[in-house]
Amino acid sequence: MPSTQDGLTWNRHLTGLRCIHCGHLHQVGPLTAGCPRCRTREFVANLWLEYDLASLRHGLQRTTFTDRRAGLAAYNPLLPVEDASGELSLAEGNTPLLPAPYLRRAFSQVWLKDETRNPTFSYKDRLCYTAVSAGALLGRRVACVASSGNHGAATAAYARRAGMECVVIGTGTPLPVMAAQMRAYGAKLVRAEDTERWRVLRRCVEEYGWWPTGNYTWPLASGNPFGPEGYKTIAYEVWRDLGERVPDVVLVPVARGEGLAGVWKGFLELAELGLADRLPRMVGVEPEAGGPLARAWRAGRELTGMEMLTPGRTVAVSIGGGVSSTQALLTVRDSGGHALTVSDEEILAARARLAEEGLLVEAAAATAVAGLSRLEREVPALAAGVAAVVLTGSGLKDAIPLAVDFEPESVPVVTADDFARTFRDRFGVDPSELGVG
């Protein structure tokens, strides 16, 4: 296991964290709750990492985009943390871009970015590579995340890789496969009621100094600003694998919208670096049981007007939330894209269609595929040209119950007030002592 901080440095072209709402440039540091200047009780503005791309451009080698060996470490010149040895990587990324003529309809081409082949079987590995690297560089010893699935599994794997502890805070009974996976990577699992878990997480971040790889603000999502930096490499790879061309439309299944925004940021950077001469339209797809982004988009909301919903149940468990983010709405708006919802029926039909073609994906991933025909019906003008769809997670994670030696019911339920005591009883260590010594 590599020792943390060794060999890790901030990218020397990194200039700061830019608020996407007020435009203020904050110094590089542990800003994981959105822009401190803009934050109110109802509003959180995301921060985007900014680089001096003009000077970066001169030293950039074409091989940065074609080195397929090293996982995301290959893109280090364009990522926040330089992981010179590549030791924090699990060889994530460099996933195949598959042609899908059977989905074409009004489009001239449809390509599937198959993220199911990442180390923990979802695209969260990209986010966790960059988010955990930043935590390791900052000397944090414990990573934490509010998740019931992929985000928890990826955080657990990358935290262990970096020699950090990992605590995952879920809601309800976790999916057996996802929970077993997190446990296998050595994560400690607790669960809490939905609103309570944000209080628990806030305490972990503010009192224990744990490093959140995802959101911990409520009601709106801040996310860890270093995470979308991992997602932006999806744009680099799509561009590269299309022969240095940018697709007309990119469809991404959306929960908090870090993926949607991260991919968009990747295309923006390719254009700023002078490598791409156009930008795609970004389409976010949500299950209709929730759909906070689509609702805000349809209502023509300002960035400050995003609302939280109480979502119903959906088969797309990984994206079933009622909260999206300012950066998701900004992405749809700035790219001239769209946000739409699809029904569970459409999601399952899309999943079945892909399986017939040899691809078994999570319902969450199939949501974006279902978005292709929905887009054609809702906004025919956008359903043309070359489309790329991000298949975010593997069907083995939510479809097939595996026999595992693990009782999901045994994950302890916590509140912010009894968290420390329950944690101590269950894991034999006080949370304030976790990762110390």
Ligand X SMILES: *Cc1c(COP(=O)(O)O)cnc(C)c1O
Query: Rounded to whole angstroms, how far apart are CA atoms 221 and 258?
Result: 9
Binding segment toward Zn ion, per CB under 5 A, in 17-25, 287-295, 413-421, 429-437: 17-25
Q: Which residue is nearest to ligand X (CB)?
A: 393
Sequence-distant (≥ 6) Cβ neighbours of residue 283 within 8 angstroms: 249, 250, 251, 252, 332, 337, 338, 339, 340, 371, 375, 382
Nearer to ligand X, 4 or 367 (CB): 367
# binding residues, ligand X (CB under 6 A): 19
**Least CB distance from residue 200 to ligand X, whole Å?**
20
Find the part of the chain contacting Zn ion (CB under 5 A) among 40-48, 128-136, 184-192, 239-247.
Answer: 40-48
Question: Interface with Zn ion includes 37 (CB under 5 A)?
Answer: yes
Q: Is 393 in the site for ligand X (CB under 6 A)?
A: yes
Alpha carbon distance 424, 437 (integer Å): 17
Q: What are phi and psi of 190, to 5 degrees?
A: -130, 165
Q: Which is nearer to ligand X, 349 or 413 (CB)?
A: 349
Least spacing, CB of residue 154 vs ligand X, in Å: 8
- Cβ count near 110 (within 10 Å): 23
The nearer residue to ligand X, 145 or 192, going by C-beta atoms, is 145
Contact of 72 with 236, CB cutoff 8 Å = no
Quick check: helix, strand or coil at residue 410? Answer: helix
Shortest Cβ 318–ligand X spacing (Å): 4
Task: For residue 253, state whether it binds ligand X (rule: CB under 6 A).
Answer: yes
Closest contact distance (angstroms) between CB of 392 and ligand X is 3
Burial class (CB in 10 A: 0-12, 13-18, 19+), 340: buried
Shortest reach from residue 266's CB to Zn ion, in Å? 22
Residues 184-243 that bind ligand X (CB under 6 A): none
Picked from Zn ion, ligand X, none, the partner binding residue 319 (CB below 5 to 8 A depending on kind) is ligand X
Taking the complex as a whole, how short is the minimal distance between the CB of residue 171 and ligand X, in angstroms?
A: 15
Q: What's the rounded Cα separation, in Å, for the pair 173 and 175?
A: 7
How far apart (Å, rounded) are the C-alpha atoms in residues 296 and 293?
Answer: 5
Q: Which stretch binds ligand X (CB under 6 A): 158-166, 270-278, 340-348, 360-368?
A: 360-368
Number of residues this chain uses to bind Zn ion (CB under 5 A): 7
d(CA 284, CA 340): 6
Question: Which member of 232, 392, 423, 431 binds ligand X (CB under 6 A)?
Answer: 392
Which residue is it, tokens 């262990």?
160
Query: Is residue 35 at the binding interface for Zn ion, with CB under 5 A as the rule?
Result: yes
Answer yes or no whether residue 88 interacts with ligand X by CB under 6 A. Answer: no
Q: Which two tokens stand for residue 27?
A: 């110094």
Q: In one letter, which amino acid is 61? A: Q
Out of 80, 152, 170, 257, point to the residue binding ligand X (CB under 6 A).
257
Give every CB contact of residue 430 below 8 A, 6+ residues apart in sequence. Answer: 420, 423, 424
| Among the residue ranges 100-108, 163-171, 249-257, 370-378, the one whose residues contact ligand X (CB under 6 A) | 249-257
- The rounded distance, in Å, linking the Cα atoms of 167 and 398 is 21
Q: Do 285 and 368 meet the contact criterion of CB atoms below 8 Å apart? A: yes
| One-letter amino acid for residue 356 of the chain | E
Nearer to ligand X, 38 or 128 (CB): 128
DSSP annotation of 353: H
CA distances from 353 to 111, 134, 365 (A): 15, 39, 13
Instruction: Tell whether residue 319 is a contact of ligand X (CB under 6 A).
Output: yes
Compose the 146-175 pattern: x for residues touching ligand X by CB under 6 A, - for all others: ----xx------------------------
Q: Which residues bind Zn ion (CB under 5 A)?
A: 19, 21-22, 35, 37-38, 45
Q: Which residues bind ligand X (CB under 6 A)?
A: 122, 124, 150-151, 253-260, 318-319, 362, 364-365, 392-393
